[in-house]
Amino acid sequence: MTTAAPRLATAPAAAIPPFEHSYATLPERFFARIAPTPVRAPLLLRLNLPLAAELGLDADWLAGPHGVAMCAGNRLPASAQPLAMAYAGHQYGQFVPSLGDGRALLLGEVIDHAGQRRDLQLKGAGRTPFSRSGDGRAVLGPMLREYILGEAMQGLGIPTTRALAVVATGEPVLRERPEPGAVLTRVAASHIRVGTFEYFARRGDLDAVRTLADYVIDRHFPALTEHAAPYVELLAAIAARQGELIARWLLVGFIHGVLNTDNVALSGETIDFGPCAFMDRYDPNQVYSSIDHFGRYAYAQQPSIGLWNLTQLANCLLPLLDPDSEAAKAQARGALEAYGRAFASAYAGGLRAKLGLLAAAGTDQDADDELVQDLLGRMAAHHADFTNTFRALSDARPDQPHTLAAVRTQFDEAAAFDTWAEDWRARLARQAEPDAARQARMRTVNPAFIPRNHRVQQVIDAATERGDLAPLEQLLSVVSRPYDDHTGLAAYRQPPQPHEVVRQTFCGT
């Protein structure tokens, strides 16, 4: 690689602040130090300016030769200490004792404007000791999907890892056919997964399990540092975050697609956008992933899979909870109850909010939950679009029938909606709130825009086949502010035409 910095016509932008390395201070067996493999012709395709600002990273520097060289893995700042993290994981229920970062490298950590420590990682940066038979590379299409879905999650207010940059490598990557390669710079609260604990627990390395637990407490749950029983509280706290996260996915129709334990971040962020998608029509059994043949990770399976994954984490932590294994199990079971509580409260509360229901005299929550479930059942039976139904309800006033037209057309038999709408009208009448206030509230929880799968595919095709990034920019502009109306871009609210439907998504690994 180039050794001297290129001469710039204007004064060079300030370099970025030095990386920090708390993870790299952990014992050597937690990771493998390895440099990225340079790529032939790096080209910056997308830089996330708001995220750069949040991280305090100079956008001009990032977009300049040094920044692009970093994001390609061609030349790193002196303060970077690239490493591949070790982890294991249950993949589709089968335990794999050693997975690890096979194509990703942690460069280091930065402290963002809110004082939070965030990881900077290159995904697709070349082979590592964990690559097994993989090539260590990433394909442009899936990296654009990850970028878009991360920004959509962020816009929706759901905890998520995000992409800072996507750089094309100028090198083909061989999958079923040659595909353009890319490196994604990922930003995460951390990259520690359920599978990170499993890696050490399965080896019987209790010291490492304890060291990792202490690190996670310190980094993500500092309030537990002084707690008398920190590890059981850690399990409960992780479980609560995961329960809330999965509830929030369901509330926007998101299907992760590969909820293996190695794809569950302990920080509670959405991570590893692979064959994921937002659904169009509401169908609890919806699956997109091309390899999920049995629907293990279908939309409505996600809550129970979340608990299964946390149970694997609990198994790892048992020796830290109590020397007596029965006592330890009892403690773990108690801690895991936090998952169901967090899920139920976020999900049921979220659904009531989506329908504008407030607790009021003469209302009761069980009846409200029944009203919600009744609607969902009708939506599933009558192929209603999930996002558009709730958004149209936000604009409706049940006492003014013409305002219901946009909701009715979501159902392939409008009568199925009409009978429910009567109950909704009667229920709303029991809360003394002006319609306008309810509608405004509903519009803050019912997005107008999701990254519809066919749109994501169009973006990927345009970028991959024609080098055209305009569709990416346009899709990002709506999904990053999904609760706004974006008049003029209403086409992005439309579900796919029959010929546009994308039924499957692929890992692209």
Q: Which residues bind Mg ion (CB under 5 A)?
A: 263, 272
Q: Shortest gap between Cβ of 80 and ligand AMP (angstroms)?
A: 19
Q: Which does 353 bind (CB under 5 to 8 A by kind): Mg ion, ligand AMP, none?
A: none
The one catalytic residue among 262, 280, 292, 385: 262
* Site map (CB under 6 A) of ligand AMP, residues 468-507, x = contact: ---------------------------------------x
Contact range with ligand AMP by CB under 6 A, out of 46-54, 126-134, 283-291, 451-459: 126-134
* Short-list 336, 356, 375, 326, CA closest to 431: 356
Q: Are residues 307 and 264 in contact, defined by beta-carbon separation less than 8 angstroms?
A: no
How far from 184 is each of 81, 137, 144, 218, 469, CA to CA, in Å? 18, 10, 8, 28, 16
Which lies closer to Mg ion via its Cβ, residue 190 or residue 263? 263
Torsion 43-272-88-175 (CA) sign: negative
Residue 105 near ligand AMP by CB under 6 A: no
Contact range with ligand AMP by CB under 6 A, out of 1-9, 97-105, 225-233, 244-252: 97-105
Amino acid at 390: F
* Short-list 187, 183, 208, CA closest to 198: 208
Q: Which does 258 bind (CB under 5 to 8 A by kind): ligand AMP, Mg ion, none?
A: ligand AMP
Q: Catalytic annotation on 262?
A: yes
Q: Shortest gap between Cβ of 104 and ligand AMP (angstroms)?
A: 6
Q: Shortest gap between Cβ of 128 and ligand AMP (angstroms)?
A: 7
Contact range with ligand AMP by CB under 6 A, out of 128-136, 288-296, 317-325, 413-421: 128-136
Strand partners of residue 178: 174
Q: Shortest gap between Cβ of 259 and ligand AMP (angstroms)?
A: 10
Residues 255-284 that bind ligand AMP (CB under 6 A): 258, 262-263, 272, 274
Residue 137 near ligand AMP by CB under 6 A: yes
| Residue 277 to residue 290: CA distance in whole angstroms | 12
Which lies closer to ligand AMP via its Cβ, residue 3 or residue 133? 133
| Residue 420 to residue 418: CA distance in whole angstroms | 5
Which lies closer to ligand AMP via its Cβ, residue 288 or residue 390? 288
Q: What's phi and psi for 180, nearest 5 deg?
A: -70, 135
Which lies closer to Mg ion via its Cβ, residue 131 or residue 458? 131
> Alpha helix locations (H) across 221-324?
230-251, 302-321
How far from 283 is each of 111, 278, 292, CA to CA, in Å? 41, 11, 16
Interacting residue with ligand AMP among 134, 178, 334, 401 (CB under 6 A): 134
With CB atoms as reference, the residue minimizing the distance to Mg ion is 272
Interacting residue with ligand AMP among 36, 67, 73, 136 (CB under 6 A): 136
Number of helices (H), then strands (E), belonging to the chain: the values are: 16, 12
| Residue 191 to residue 187: CA distance in whole angstroms | 9
Q: What's phi and psi for 74, nearest 5 deg?
A: -85, -35
Q: Shortest gap between Cβ of 173 and ligand AMP (angstroms)?
A: 8
- SS3 state of residue 503: coil
Q: Are residues 231 and 221 in contact, defined by beta-carbon separation less than 8 angstroms?
A: no
| Residue 455 to residue 367: CA distance in whole angstroms | 38
Residue 131 near ligand AMP by CB under 6 A: yes
- Residue numbers at the binding site for ligand AMP (CB under 6 A): 99-103, 130-131, 134-137, 258, 262-263, 272, 274, 507, 509
Catalytic residue positions? Answer: 262
